[in-house]
Amino acid sequence: MRLALGLAHRWAGLFIAVFLAISGFTGAIISWDHELDEWLNPDLFETKSVGPTLDPLELVRSVEASDPKVEVVYFPTTFEPGHTALLGLGPRLDPKTGRPFELDYNQVYVDPVTGEHVGKRLWGKISLSRQDLLPFLYKLHFSMHIPEIGGIDRFGFWFMGIIAIVWTIDCLVGFYLTLPQRRQLQAGVRGPHGRSWWERWKPAWRIKRGADSYRLNLDLHRAFGLWLWVLLFVVAFSSISMNLSDLVVRPLVSAVADLTPDPFDDRTPLDRTKQIPAQVSRAQILDIGAKEAQARGWPESIKSVYYGRSYGLYSVTYALPGDDHGAFGMQKRLFFDGADGAVVGGRVPWEGTAGDVFMQLQFPLHSGRIAGIPGRVAISLLGFVVALLSVTGIVVWAKKRAARQSAVSRRQIGVPQAAE
């Protein structure tokens, strides 16, 4: 069994190594995506205008009036002084073809005081320019920029979800392979040479000083994997939740715990060539959302509104002033049917069943926001460790492979085994 697991660990590791190295490196950077993006692009994010801000819906109308091909699908309702407002866009359907217009941008940055359109960009564009760098890295992190196939743009998400599944299983296999072998356990608490079980396992936790390159790579791969195993496993599993929540994680969780129906996870979205127009206006949803929060006694006010045209659903986010990501990285959200404005669900931090809370925790755990700034620092460092483990794993495999090939070559020319 141990031999089979060793082979599985080797080939699984080789399959996911490059993708994990890229994902780990990009994850270390995008832990600070907003801060770095703002630092790189002050022309997009900063404004010197002072004074009362315009009505959010006026900003929405101005953006849509500037280009009949776009529809605002996301807009904020509160604005940070000295900063622009980011509005997210989607293409309208071309009445001639029935297909979405092709757009070269999907974000517009607007001065909330003057209404001036400061700039625009295509989020996720394959580009290393200053303006596009952080969105490019963010999308690379979770989809490898795999293009859409047959009108479906989810293949990159699904592929990285499969990578996460292999990684999660491989974490368990790798941990098992560091343990003392079965025959040592059968010898009792103390092995035949007087060493305890822990004494036999302890070298796996250490990095030997002055070792050759092969041993150094092996020690780095094994020791870092053990010391940070819990964090690595949490990030690996939560990666599945990020990409395959409705396909894998929710069905698994629902098998052992009750889950409250979630319309965005439980509804099957239309493909990108189809859209469900909202029958309830944005102004109406702002009024309905504010009254619903008041009825629930929430101190938070509406922070942003998103309309999922493939679902026919509004998602309304609530937050206290200055609270961008909520306590522990979770925010209150309510979902409203775009046809009649009825409340059809929500995600309220720490409320619901044990399964609901478990699902709520996936993004805060994956991003480190559950522990605030220290958590984000830890996740950022962990991203570099994931890249390190991927590289050292490849190096160890390559050196072992070279050694095996050398041994085969020696035997083929009749070199005695002792001479090897």
pLDDT value at residue 326: 62
- For 301-345, the pLDDT digits (tens) are 999 999 999 999 999 999 988 776 666 678 999 999 999 999 999
Query: Would residue 277 count as lying in a domain?
Result: yes
Whole-number average pLDDT of the chain: 91
420 pLDDT band, cuts 50/70/90, is: very low
Query: Would residue 66 count as lying in a domain?
Result: no
Query: Would residue 127 count as lying in a domain?
Result: no
pLDDT value at residue 328: 65
What CATH code is carried by the domain that includes residue 330?
A: 3.10.450
pLDDT value at residue 98: 85
Q: Give the separation between CA 278 and CA 92, rounded to whole angstroms.
A: 13
Residue 405 dihedral angles phi and psi, to the nearest 5°: -65, -40
Query: Would residue 3 count as lying in a domain?
Result: no
Q: What percent of the chain has pLDDT over 70?
A: 91
Q: Give the separation between CA 190 and CA 313, rounded to whole angstroms.
A: 63
- 114 vs 329, more confident: 114
Query: Would residue 341 count as lying in a domain?
Result: yes
Total residues belonging to the chain: 420
Q: How far is CA 192 from CA 112, 129, 187, 188, 197, in A?
A: 75, 62, 7, 9, 11
Q: Give the separation between CA 24 and CA 145, rounded to whole angstroms.
A: 15
Sheet-wide strand order for 301-308: 117-121, 107-110, 85-91, 70-76, 301-308, 313-319, 332-337, 343-347
Confidence check: pLDDT of 117 > 50: yes
Owning domain of residue 316: 268-351
Q: Give the separation between CA 211 and CA 157, rounded to whole angstroms.
A: 40
Confidence check: pLDDT of 374 > 90: yes
pLDDT value at residue 319: 92
405 pLDDT band, cuts 50/70/90, is: confident
9 pLDDT band, cuts 50/70/90, is: very high
Confidence check: pLDDT of 185 > 70: no
Confidence check: pLDDT of 153 > 80: no
Query: Would residue 306 count as lying in a domain?
Result: yes
Q: What percent of the chain has pLDDT over 90?
A: 76
- For 192-240, the pLDDT digits (tens) are 555 677 888 988 999 988 888 888 999 999 999 999 999 999 999 999 9
- Give the mean pLDDT of 247-258: 94
Instruction: Report the number of distinct structural domains present in the chain.
Output: 1
182 pLDDT band, cuts 50/70/90, is: low
CA quadruple 183, 184, 185, 186: dihedral sign: positive
pLDDT value at residue 412: 65
Structure tokens at 293: 């929060």
Query: Would residue 357 count as lying in a domain?
Result: no
Query: Would residue 330 count as lying in a domain?
Result: yes
